[in-house]
Amino acid sequence: MKSYQCIVRGFVYDESLGLPAEGIARGTRWADIPGDWECPDCGVAKADFEMVEI
Amino acid sequence: MAEPAASPVVIIGSGLAGYTAAREFRKLDKQTPLVIVSRDHAGFYSKPMLTNAIAGRKTAVTLVMKSAMKMAEELRAAVLARTEVRQVDTAAQTVQFASRESLAYRDLVLALGADPIRLPLEGDGAADVLSVNDLDDYARFAERLEGVSQVAILGGGLIGCEFANDLLARGITPTVIDPAAGPLSRLLPPAAGEWLRQRLEAAGARFCFGVTATRIDLSARGYALGLVDGGRLEAGLVLSAIGLRPRTGIAREAGLAVHRGIVTDRRLATSAAHVYALGDCAEVEGHTLPYVMPIMQQARALAATLAGTPTAVNYPAMPVVVKTPACPTVVCPPPLDAAGAWSVQAFDDALEARFHAADGVLLGFALMGGATTQRQALAAQVPGLLV
């Protein structure tokens, strides 16, 4: 499981946690999130997230 | 385009608006020369992070995510740091720098940002009042915070409340002074403001509502603030967070239409051909919205236009996340002239406020505490601002 961080607001998507409030189940891999998904905090595109080490 | 292909797209400004526009443009056009002009160091940092840098243990150095050199490489752009623009000639399609050198542009993007509004203050300490509007300001602020235990914050809006909460992370007591009756008075109904105030107070913040500071004098402990009602307050540092005014000087001098901000249509086009504006300096179809989400929408539309597909910006409902960890808050304010009424439901650990028009349509909302998980569901119900 990996995490990805929004380059603008620092919002972190953690694959192991998912985003249940947005209908993204726990364990959803980053690669499986739709390309038009945006950062819920600021609207940054999925492409502008960067992988972060935990 | 009528201009020779060799003329670059020139972006003035290396803040979130300028760099996001550049990044989005490069996703669509990998060939056209691109020049980014900045009056500062031109490193990429995220301005919203300045108000939670203390809790995040960031410094002015670590806030810089990418240096100007790294940005130039990634964007395949020339990044001109510490370069002041003197004027723009929209007829000749050139930008002239303070050095008197000039640069021709195919298209020009103004991403100038906004200046902090400063209140007129009397007293020999007035000149020491800080605003934090960019990274250099933040560095100064961080330096001046050394050894300070009390900070007075002028303005209880978004930025004032976020700084107040962030200072608590360092054990500093903030006192927020605002003429309104509660925090975030332009965004929240009074009951929600009160809920936020209680939680920030419980976390250690202090508030003086219904008053303004009129003078600031040097004192043994730093500064003595004189309030309009005769009250006095001591602080080691005074921070001004009154609000922002779009930066329009260059545009005005170039003869562009300027109202509150640089006037643009939905394609972000200003009144001069080949000149566009976005971000905090722009007034897009009458809206000046100094938030991140509008910038993302603008940057994508503008990038498409610059890459040859004229594209109008859409503004869906854009909730604003208020970075007050003592009271998680998301607000989607109703349009300023909207007719309707707030209804507020408050619980121990959550507050939900909805603004409905007479016909029942949801026009805005505020969510706090545990209710913030409703953000996406409610935002989907609110009509967009520009659709």
Distance (Å, whole) CA A39 – CA B159: 21
- Could you tell me the strand order of the sheet in which B206-209 lies? B206-209, B173-178, B150-154, B237-240
Whether B46 sits inside 8 A of A38 (CB atoms) is no
Q: Which of B265, B318, B270, B271 is nearest to B296 (CA)?
A: B318
**Cβ of B98 under 8 Å from any chain A Cβ?**
no
Tokens at residue B121, please? 């203050």
Distance (Å, whole) CA A1 – CA B27: 28
Identify the three-state secondary structure at position B251.
helix
**Cβ of B46 under 8 Å from any chain A Cβ?**
yes
- CA A26 to chain B, closest CA, distance in angstroms equals 16
Whether B16 sits inside 8 A of A8 (CB atoms) is yes
Written as one letter, the residue type at B123 is G
- CA B177 to chain A, closest CA, distance in angstroms equals 27
Q: Give the pLDDT mean for A3-29.
A: 88
Burial B327-340 (b: 16+ CB within 10 A, else e): bbbbbbbbeeeeeb
Contact yes or no for B52/B96 (Cβ under 8 A)? no
Count of CA atoms in the C-beta half-sphere (13 A) of B46 = 21
Among A40, A43, A44, whose Cβ lies nearest the Cβ of B376?
A: A40
Which residue carries 């509004």 as its tokens? B117
ipTM metric: 0.81
The residues near B48 (Cβ < 8 Å, ≥ 6 apart) are: A8, A9, A42, B16, B292, B323
Best B25, B26, B65 residue to mutate vs chain A (most A CBs within 10 Å): B65
Tens-digit pLDDT profile for residues B165-202 = 999 999 999 999 999 999 999 999 999 999 999 999 99
What percent of chain B shows pLDDT beyond 90?
Answer: 94
Tens-digit pLDDT profile for residues B339-368 = 999 999 999 999 999 999 999 999 999 999
Best A5, A24, A42, A48 residue to mutate vs chain B (most B CBs within 10 Å): A42
Beta strand B173-178 pairing with B206-209: parallel
* B378-382 contact pairs (CB < 8 A, 24+): B378/B319, B378/B332, B378/B354, B379/B316, B379/B317, B379/B318, B379/B319, B379/B332, B380/B317, B382/B317, B382/B332
* E strands present in B275-327: 275-277, 282-284, 320-322
pTM, full prediction: 0.94
Distance (Å, whole) CA B290 – CA B319: 13
Q: Which of B266, B272, B274, B275 is nearest to B301 (CA)?
A: B266
Whether B49 sits inside 8 A of A10 (CB atoms) is yes
Burial of B215 from C-beta contacts in 10 A (0-12 / 13-18 / 19+): middle
Confidence of residue A53 (pLDDT cuts 50, 70, 90): low
Instruction: Write out chain B residues lying below 8 Å of A44, CB-based.
Output: 296
Contact yes or no for B293/A42 (Cβ under 8 A)? yes
Tens-digit pLDDT profile for residues B71-121 = 999 999 999 999 999 999 999 999 999 999 999 999 999 999 999 999 999
B261 DSSP assignment: S
> Chain B residue closest to A22 (CA)?
B376
Contact yes or no for B151/B236 (Cβ under 8 A)? yes
Q: Is the pLDDT of residue B3 over 60?
A: no
Q: Which of A33, A35, A41 is nearest to A7 (CA)?
A: A41
Whether B375 sits inside 8 A of A21 (CB atoms) is yes
